[in-house]
Structure 1
Amino acid sequence: MFMNAGFWIRLGAILLDGLIIGLPVALILMLITGNGFGEERISNFLSMLYSILVPVIWGGYTVGKKICGIRIVKLDGEPPGIGTMLMRHFVGGLVYGITCGIAVIVSAFMVGLREDKRSIHDLIAGTEVVHD
């Protein structure tokens, strides 16, 4: 049985992903596109692809999660598939968008306070983030 990952380790993994993957991608795009047009959209699209595809390809890990020793798994302990990650990202994102971000705050409290440490997008997709 895995031990669920709490708020701070998950936040650390997100920040590491942003620094290690997001920042270099943004800088490269800025150099390629010059200062501007479409840069933010391309960066957002690449970030979305990263957050959906890398966990599918890499058994539930992103670079930040691997460094922190945590990963996304389905409730049966299996790595997430593309359908699971699409549910987690898009349906969860829809909930967060419809609530104008209030659900993001609720999710942070859920991860910090719930015994199973699952957020709204985890509940939607049937996933959890666990320590290795």
Structure 2
Amino acid sequence: MIQDLYKEFSQLEQVEAIALGGSRAGQDYDQNSDYDVYVYLNSPIDEKTRQIILSNYCSYMEIGNQFWELEDDCVLNNSIEIELIYRSMESFEQELNSTVFQHKAQNAYTTCMWHNLL
């Protein structure tokens, strides 16, 4: 099911990359661990499109939450939570440039973004 969700998002022209983060990206997770999914975009995906896609896989959806970044917080049909965090490729590249080439620390997030996609 989760692979189908990734595939559906990957077919959108706005999507440049999809990365799995958190415990599911490594070996330290269990069957109840949530999914932290980072969707890297060349332009925004409208809320309605995200809702239509997610409604095929999720029993509960909070669309368009934003604290640090725009995200959709959902519960998959198998009762596992999933967070889809949407990131601009342009912003991502600017942050990497600032960290790697300009040597600027970023308040405890200096290499966080770097390790998420690279």
TM bucket, shorter chain: under 0.3
TM-score, structure 2 as length reference: 0.25
Q: Which has the higher helix share?
A: 1
TM-score, structure 1 as length reference: 0.23
